[in-house]
Structure 1
Amino acid sequence: MIARAGKIALLSTTLMLAACGGAGAPAEKRTEFNIGWSIYAGWMPWPYAQQAGIVKKWADKYHIKINVVQVNDYVESVNQYTAGKFDGVTVANMDALTIPAAGGKDTSAIILGDYSNGNDGVLLKGADTLSAIKGRQVYLVELSVSHYLLARGLEKAGLSFSDIKTVNTSDADIVGAFASPQATAAVTWNPQLSVMAAQPGAKKVFTSADIPGEILDLLVVDTATLKANPDLGKALAGIWYETVQLMMRQDDQGKAARAGMAKLAGTDPATFDAQLKTTFLYTDPKAAVAATDNPALVSTMTRVRDFSFSKGLFKGASSADAVGMAFPGGKTLGDAQHVTLRFDDSFMKMAADGKL
């Protein structure tokens, strides 16, 4: 499956909002690092880069070793990063905020990899407009990116959560649940989304393509580790841009790279290519820097944190401002004295300027 399998934010994380100030104890200079990843179309460049020798090439350049480690469960990979078992991890923007950052782990998003451009969607049976969702039971993984997508859709349709009833359903069960005649509304992500959209009478009435740039997929690294070991950030940026530029080529080498990624994801090239069509990959570092520097990112993260707080994902917090975020140019959101999520464009800029 090509999915952020189980994108739900972990409620049982022990939050340390009152105690999280800055990057904590200084990290030591090291030569070996572990980066966690899970299967999702936009993250397959990482394991392929390891298999193709691109990871080793860039790590050798900076005299370090980088281990790219698969974790079968997405949330578990983020939890392991939060617990210190990984130095970095692939993660969606909402989960970076609600798991490590809200848990007090100072985290830097150093690569804006992609945004979902149709990989997440709202499905209705017997209707072709989102307004028809009113009064229905909606199946979804609650407190996940699907929940956020639904919130944005309802807002645009002039509706609220009081107009519907959500039914918490795991990503493993949602295809079967939607097949029932009684189920007429659902929110999910690919590949389940494509399978469910093919059911009789089902139509996509709102997708992440309607809110471009809001469901972001990132590579994040522990801030203290990054400060002590900036070469790690340089190597990771080099790995990413060499690999994504290779995979998007239309020659035999590009085709072979995509086929290799499909195999690593446990699927076939045609399915993988279809997933890429609804994934906006930032293959050009200049475009990634521009998106990170754009005020729209602050607006997006404001929506994400307000939604997360409203659903109780900042456990122990008295307001949405409890978790501080920092953006390029000195802009902050929330508590500037307790910043635990930083959007750091410096390594992408080095890639854009040819200075890696």
Structure 2
Amino acid sequence: MKRLFRVAFLLATLCLGLFGAGTGPAPAADKKVFRVGYVVYVGFMPMAWLKQSGLLKKWGDKYGIEIEMVQANDYVGSINQFIAGDLDAVGVAGMDALTMPAAGGVDTSLFLITDYSNGNDVLLSKSAKSVADLAGQSVYLLQYSVSHYLLNRALVLNGLAGVSSVKTVNISDSEIAAAYLTQADLQHAVSWKPMTIDMLKGSKDSHVLFDSSKIPGEIMDCFIGKTQTLKEHPEFAKALLGAWYEAMQAFAAGGDAAAGMKAVMASAMGTDEAGFQSQVDTTHFFMTPADAHAFLTADKTRQTWDYIRHFSFEQGLFGQGAASVDSIGIGFADGSTLGDTKNVKLRIDPSFAKLAMDGQL
């Protein structure tokens, strides 16, 4: 998964003509079909299980709809499909929801939080003894990705002036591991699993300076939908969350059901179960709707979005027309807003998690 968060400019006509669904099951020919996109990434892999477990059909039938899961090969492309209306929801890193559809003017709602990185993203070095030692040094990473954000937070939390205190060198996620292991001048890097596993194993001098477990909740993954779609068709979000939390209940319970899920998810990721488990171990999944609701409504989560929006604006990710960090509004369930209250384009919506938590799906 190329976990980019940059503004995408897309001139597209939004798809119209959504058919209303009844409150009860409808004949198959009349069912409204909703398309959900996701890419191969540990936090989204339960969707691969939903595709073959029958849970999507079970919950879709309950609401008289059909949900089609679409595994995308290109991350940015999947977000562009969402912006254009080809997908009704898409899995993204949280900050991409802000810097792509929201920054592009699409009124977007985060309605399902799946997980956050709890050690999957890593700042490593062959020579520095501490994060402070990186001042003035070159650090290789995928620019404008969560790696860039992680580096900034690591530097700030260790008394430096963020990414301006180092020299960042852009390198693709497909190249960084090989380059780190073969280039003597590449001493410091930021990336994520599974690349960092190979980087640490292949270089005897390498060690971790900082990882995402130090900033829990800040590198989050979620599913977003257009606010109007969710308003007009709440049955879509209800069915998707119903299937998701039923799957997560089995995942959390362990035993044969969880083993079966892990086998499917590992296969979908193109790894073995040990490789998959190594990523699960450093990922915090929201196993219950109560946990998700608590996260989405927490004061700390609001602070996280403040960090994200400031970093995004400082890196020019709001686009040329953004005059200040307040140009784009981020709305919360309590009615408060970060940024422009007249231009709220990203809404943190815990209402469906609340329904699930209360047993009302």
TM-score normalised to the size of structure 1?
0.93
Alignment of 1:19-38 (within 5 A): 29=20, 31-38=32-39
Structure 1 position 259 matched with structure 2 position 299: no
Shift of 1:127: 3.2
Aligned CA-pair RMSD: 1.9
Q: Which amino acid aligns with 2:34?
A: F
Distance 1:223 1:178 in 2: 42
Does the 8 Å CA contact 1:91/1:217 hold for their aligned counterparts? yes
1:352 aligns with 2:348: no
Q: Which residue of 1 aligns with 2:106?
A: 105
Q: Report Cα offsets for 1:276-295 as digits up to 9, x if no partner.
A: 01000000111111111101
In the alignment, structure 1 residue 285 sits paired with structure 2 residue 281:
no
What's the counterpart of residue 252 of structure 2?
A: 248
Q: Which residue of 2 aligns with 1:85?
A: 86
TM-score, normalised to structure 2, is 0.92
SS at match of 1:255: helix
Cα distance change of structure 1 residues 200 and 267 upon mapping to structure 2, 3 Å threshold: same
Picking from 327, 330, 334, the partner of 2:332 is: 327
Equivalence map 1:106-145=2 (5 Å) = 106-145=107-146
**CA separation in 1, counterparts of 2:68 and 2:5?**
25
| CA–CA distance in structure 1, aligned partners of residues 115 and 34 of structure 2 | 23
Shift of 1:340: 1.1
Shift of residue 12, structure 1, vs aligned partner: 4.6
- Aligned residue number for residue 215 of structure 2: 211
4+ runs deviating over 4 angstroms: 25-28
Match of 2:236? 232
| Percent identical | 43
CA distance in 2, matches of 1:196, 1:15: 40
The 3-state SS of whatever aligns with 1:212 is coil
2:177 alignment partner, one of 155, 159, 175: 175
Q: Larger relative contact order (C-alpha < 8 A, sep ≥ 6)?
A: 1
Q: Provide the residue aligned with 2:315 in structure 1.
A: 311
How many Å separate the matches in 2 of 1:309 and 1:6?
A: 20
| Alignment-derived partner of residue 96 in structure 2 | 95
1:311-354 per-position Cα deviation (integer Å, ceiling 9, x unaligned): 00111110111111111111111111111111111110111111
Q: Which residue, out of 148, 166, 169, partners 2:168?
A: 166
Distance 1:148 1:8 in 2: 10
DSSP 3-state at the match of 1:46: helix
Query: Which whole-Å CA distance do the structure 2 matches of 1:82 and 1:14 have between them?
Result: 8
Equivalent pair of 1:119/1:208 in contact (CA under 8 Å) = yes
Contact 1:34 1:88 in 2 (8 A): yes
Change (3 A) 1:313 1:165: same
Which amino acid in structure 2 is aligned with residue 261 of structure 1?
M
Give per-residue Cα distances to partners, 1:182-216, cap 9 Å, x unaligned: 11000111111211122221111111100001111
Q: Which amino acid is the alignment partner of residue 122 of structure 1?
A: L
1:28 positional shift: 5.3
CA gap of 1:12–1:37, structure 2 versus 1, over 3 A, is closer
Query: Where does the alignment leave 5 or more consecutive residues of structure 1 unmatched?
Result: 17-22
Q: Is the CA contact (8 Å cut-off) linking 1:93 and 1:216 kept in structure 2?
A: yes
CA deviation profile, 1:149-194 (whole Å, cap 9, x unmatched): 1100010111133331111000000011111111100011111121
